[in-house]
Structure 1
């Protein structure tokens, strides 16, 4: 199964789906970055920082791929292939007349400001548009998260609206700016 999983390489990064052996690195990523990520994340689930929780999640990630409903990547620097520096999640796959998905992402605090997230998202978006043939990707960000908004703008995402009390983030309903990117090379099969 491991050889069947998507692997994306960019100039500096590798995006790949987690395997069980990655669980210690996953826990380390979220533990080290907990303070940095908490203001932008839903409340942490019970057991989030345990191997048992992540073993279940890794299994669910495989099922999402098999059932065609999601694709979750962990980001590694090519020079440090054992250290996770971020996450890119394509979720809520919807086919048919809509043919879209959502994308969410996070990056380690120490890796901010080097263009890694723009590079990782560009690689992931290319895969989702070219290999999976989605027509549209939607991304939403909190108005005060300007870094996230700037990344999306650099990638060509267009602001489509503003949603009040859109997501429960860190125990509080937060407004979000709604954006999307469309695939100009989408093909109907």
Structure 2
């Protein structure tokens, strides 16, 4: 993984073998709107309810401003995921590190979404694997939390392939598609991350 700091934003640019993770930019709006609109039925069962108004440019720009403020404060980091193809990049999804807690907790919550045309190609597995070293080595956190609907086997595979383990089950945990839904809770600790890294060096 390569790490480059982006001068206009406190969110880093992270490079995996095929994907680039970076903060959203104003120029990304059209691609983001098109991908979200095209993927709406695909994403609907897994996300909080949203409408066409949420795809407006003013909403997008407000999110950009808020994202930069949060990154500067060190509480949240929002990434767009791009597939590198030839000389260009294609927006394929997004990933968030949110609710960063310091002091005794030292954890962050991981969330992500993938556009329908790019699902099932291992891109999210790679994106999550690319952001993990940033969490532990750069932010210095101790634990990553993630949660998914029990029926979402694709999300389970993404996390398991990156060393996460199932830690619990939360009843009515998040409001998804307009209703409170149970979630499976997964976690990855620094100890497990470092152990896996040591095994990989042998």
After TM superposition, the score normalised by the length of structure 2 is 0.87
Cα RMSD for the two superposed structures: 1.5
1:29-178 correspondence runs (5 A): 29-44=35-50, 47-79=53-85, 81-178=88-185
Post-superposition CA distance 1:117-152 (Å, at most 9, x none)? 110000011111111111000000100001101111
2 CA distance for matches of 1:78 and 1:98?
A: 36
In 1, the alpha carbon distance for the partners of 2:134 and 2:64 equals 21
User: What is the distance in 1 between the residues matched to 2:181 and 2:168?
Assistant: 14
**Count, aligned residues:** 185
**How far did 1:2 drift?**
2.4
Gaps of 5+ in 1: none
Contact 1:76 1:85 in 2 (8 A): yes
TM-score, normalising length: structure 1: 0.93
Task: Name the structure 2 match of 1:28.
Answer: 34
For structure 2, the 5+ residue unaligned runs are 1-6, 195-202
1:36-90, CA deviations, whole angstroms, 9 ceiling, x for partnerless residues? 1111000116721100100000111000101111001000011174431011111
Distance 1:28 1:110 in 2: 12
Aligned structure 1 segments of 4 or more residues deviating by more than 4 angstroms: none
Which string of whole-angstrom CA distances, capped at 9 and with x for unpartnered residues, describes residues 18-42 of structure 1? 1111112221221111111111000
